[in-house]
């Protein structure tokens, strides 16, 4: 199966960018997920195999359930090492932006880019590449940035030298961005890629357990509580939302990652088309994080852009609101009513 993605011109530009660069930075969006982490780790490994010495910088903390990923201890956290990271970015001549479409998604790390004088290469599967002057390798049809990277690495002739760590990172990104291959994952190429990754000796069942079956007892209790006490279902609209307050988090000893993927749970209700979660920031007042998931052709990303200052993919999007949780609920009601025709249809 031919899984080339880049045009000859894109391939040449990418090869030239890598070849000419002396100081390379690889980064991803804030609150890195499995795809962002897998992409940063695998691509850094690839660049090393090409004799480069890239620095991998992530804007902030990543979830505990990704800490086992080989190489994660080498990542420089911007929020913890701002001065060092600012200097590295200012001195770099090439920055790879992986798994995000605009510098705003770097959060505080976006300021570091003000002093960057080199070239950007964006490698991503979101829909709206908007980094001025970047070589944009943007392929929204990919299930994950990791699928895209695997295909690019192959096109660059890097498959033979791909090691198991790289394969583990890439598989993790593909698996997490598709909810364990349960959504956005029907293209045959995905399974061809998985087959190739398996030849590198990865244990896909173990990767699944490492990522998905690592909740604490408190996390399981919190998730059960949220589904039983905080879920609001609009039967006629095939839509639902739930809220997570700071009090809930305190009561259940919340740590980052505890509600990971929970927004998918209400989609298990028969006929459900849209699920929204609203989570209060654990420190800042009037910051509510919004996650949206949908099935079929309901456009979460449109709703996220219109109501929640966000975006993302057709079936998985996010955003945020600067208001109280109660006010956020009102906005969700408005959003659901505004999309009545798509939801009821
Ligand atoms: P999550 O619900 O896991 O935070 O996000 C789901 C998807 O939406 C991810 O693919 C993420 O990249 C995207 N996303 C989350 N927040 C934002 C946002 O503020 N802006 C945009 N453009 N995409 C977002
Ligand atoms: Mn992704």
Task: Indicate if 190 and 316 belong to the same structural domain.
Answer: no
**Which bound ligand lies closest to the C-alpha atom of 40?**
2
Q: Quote the tokens at residue 300.
A: 């979460």
Atom 6 in ligand 1: residue holding the nearest Cα: 317
> What's the CATH code of the domain at 149?
3.90.1640.10
Q: What is the pLDDT of residues 201-240, one digit of tens each?
A: 999 999 999 999 999 999 999 999 999 999 999 999 999 9
For the purposes of burial, counting CB atoms within 10 Å of the CB of 10, is it exposed (0-12), middle (13-18) or buried (19 or more)? middle
Query: What contacts 144, CB < 8 A, 6 or more positions away?
Result: 35, 38, 39, 99, 125, 173, 174, 176, 177, 178
Distance 251 CA to ligand 2 centre (A): 31
Rounded-to-integer distance, Cα 289 and Cα 244, Å: 10
pLDDT exceeds 90 at position 293 = yes
Could you tell me which residues come within 8 angstroms of residue 161 by beta carbon, excluding any fewer than 6 positions away?
Answer: 49
C-beta separation of 147 from 174 below 8 A: yes
Domain boundary among 173, 195, 212: 212
What whole-number percentage of the chain has pLDDT above 70? 100
pTM of the model: 0.89
Residue 282 counted as domain residue: yes
* pLDDT on residue 304: 98
Ligand 1 atom 15, closest CA: 318
Closest residue by Cα to atom 22, ligand 1, is: 311
What is the full DSSP assignment across 135-191?
EEEE-TTSS-HHHHHHHHHHHTT-STT--HHHHHHHHHHHHHHTTTTTSS---HHHH
Distance 239 CA to ligand 2 centre (A): 24
Which of 212, 240, 256 marks a domain boundary? 212
How far apart are alpha carbons 157 and 151 in whole angstroms?
10
Within 6 A (CB) of ligand 1 lie: 291, 310-313, 316-319
Q: Ligand 1: which residue has its CA nearest to atom 13?
A: 312
Residues within 5 A (CB) of ion ligand 2: 35, 99, 145, 177
Note whether residue 2 is domain-resident.
no
- 199 C-alpha vs ligand 1 centroid, how far in Å? 32
- In terms of residue numbers, what domain contains 169? 8-212
Q: How many angstroms does the Cα of residue 311 sit away from the middle of ligand 2?
A: 12
**Does one domain contain both 229 and 172?**
no
Q: How far is the CA of 50 from the centre of ligand 1 (A)?
A: 32
Number of the ligand closest to the Cα of 130: 1
CA distance 302 to 32: 22
Torsion of CA 181, 182, 184, 188, to 10 degrees: 50
Give the bridge partners for 290, in sequence order: 278, 319
Q: Residues 6 or more apart from 55 whose CB is under 8 A from it?
A: 23, 24, 25, 26, 76, 88, 92
Distance in angstroms (rounded) separating the CA atoms of residues 336 and 68: 39
pLDDT of residue 325: 98
CA of 2 to the centre of ligand 1 (A): 30
- Locate the DSSP E strands across the chain: 24-28, 55-58, 76-77, 94-98, 119-124, 135-138, 231-234, 239-244, 274-280, 288-294, 311-312, 316-321
Listed residues 191, 212, 233: the one ending a domain: 212
Residues 199 and 256 both lie in one domain: no
Provide the domain count of the chain.
2
Residue 294 makes CB contacts below 8 A (sequence gap 6+) with 267, 273, 274, 275, 300, 314, 315, 316
From the CA of 277, give the closest atom in ligand 1.
Answer: 2
The helix/strand/coil state of 231 is: strand
**Ligand 1, residues 311, 313, 322: which to mutate, most atoms within 8 A of Cβ?**
311
**Quick one: 149 and 225 in the same domain?**
no
Report the separation in Å between the CA atom of 319 and the middle of ligand 1, taken as the mean of its atom positions: 6
Nearest atom (ligand 1) to Cα of 308: 19
Task: Read off the CATH number of the domain in which 284 is found.
Answer: 3.10.310.30
pLDDT at 271: 97
The encoded tokens of residue 256 equal 């980052």
311 and 197 within one domain? no
Question: Does residue 239 share a domain with residue 162?
Answer: no
Pairing of strands 274-280, 288-294: antiparallel
Which residue has the CA at smallest separation from atom 20 of ligand 1? Answer: 310
Residue 46: both structure tokens together: 């690839």
> Does the pLDDT of residue 64 top 90, yes or no?
no
Same domain, 173 and 70: yes
Task: Tell me the CA–centroid distance for residue 181 and ligand 2, in Å.
Answer: 13
| 28, 99 Cβ separation under 8 angstroms | yes
Q: What is the pLDDT of residues 90-134, one digit of tens each?
A: 999 999 999 999 999 999 999 999 999 999 999 999 988 999 999
Say whether pLDDT at 345 is over 80.
no
Q: How far apart are CA 242 and CA 274, in angstroms?
A: 12
pLDDT of residue 308: 98
């Amino acid at each position: 199966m031919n899984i080339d993605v880049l045009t000859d011109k894109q391939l040449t530009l990418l090869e030239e960018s890598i070849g000419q660069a002396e100081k390379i930075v690889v980064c991803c969006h804030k609150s890195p997920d499995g795809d962002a982490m897998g992409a940063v780790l695998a691509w850094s490994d690839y660049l090393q195999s090409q004799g480069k010495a890239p620095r991998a910088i992530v804007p902030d903390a990543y979830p505990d359930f990704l800490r086992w990923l080989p190489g994660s201890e080498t990542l420089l956290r911007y929020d913890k090492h701002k001065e060092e990271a600012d200097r590295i970015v200012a001195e770099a001549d090439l920055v790879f932006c992986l798994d995000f479409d605009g510098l705003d998604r770097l959060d505080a790390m976006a300021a570091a880019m003000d002093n960057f004088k080199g070239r950007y290469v964006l490698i991503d599967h979101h829909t709206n590449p908007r980094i001025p002057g970047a070589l944009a390798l943007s392929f929204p049809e990919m299930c994950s940035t990791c699928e895209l990277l695997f295909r690019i690495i192959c096109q660059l002739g890097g498959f033979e030298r791909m090691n198991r760590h790289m394969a583990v990172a890439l598989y993790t990104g593909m698996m997490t961005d598709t909810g364990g291959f349960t959504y956005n994952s029907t293209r045959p190429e995905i399974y061809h890629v998985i087959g190739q990754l398996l030849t590198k000796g990865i244990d896909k069942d173990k990767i699944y357990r490492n990522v998905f079956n690592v909740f604490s007892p408190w996390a399981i209790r919190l998730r059960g509580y949220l589904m039983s006490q905080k879920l609001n279902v609009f039967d006629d609209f095939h839509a639902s939302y739930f809220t997570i307050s700071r009090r809930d988090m305190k009561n259940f000893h919340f740590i980052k990652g505890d509600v990971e993927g929970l927004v998918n749970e209400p989609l298990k209700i028969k006929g459900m088309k849209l699920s929204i979660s609203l989570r209060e920031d654990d420190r800042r007042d009037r910051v509510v994080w919004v996650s949206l998931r949908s099935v079929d052709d309901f456009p979460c990303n449109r709703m996220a852009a219109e109501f929640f200052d966000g975006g993302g993919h057709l079936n998985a999007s996010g955003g945020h609101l600067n208001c109280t949780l109660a006010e956020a609920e009102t906005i969700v009601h408005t959003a659901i009513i505004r999309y009545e025709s798509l939801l009821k249809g």
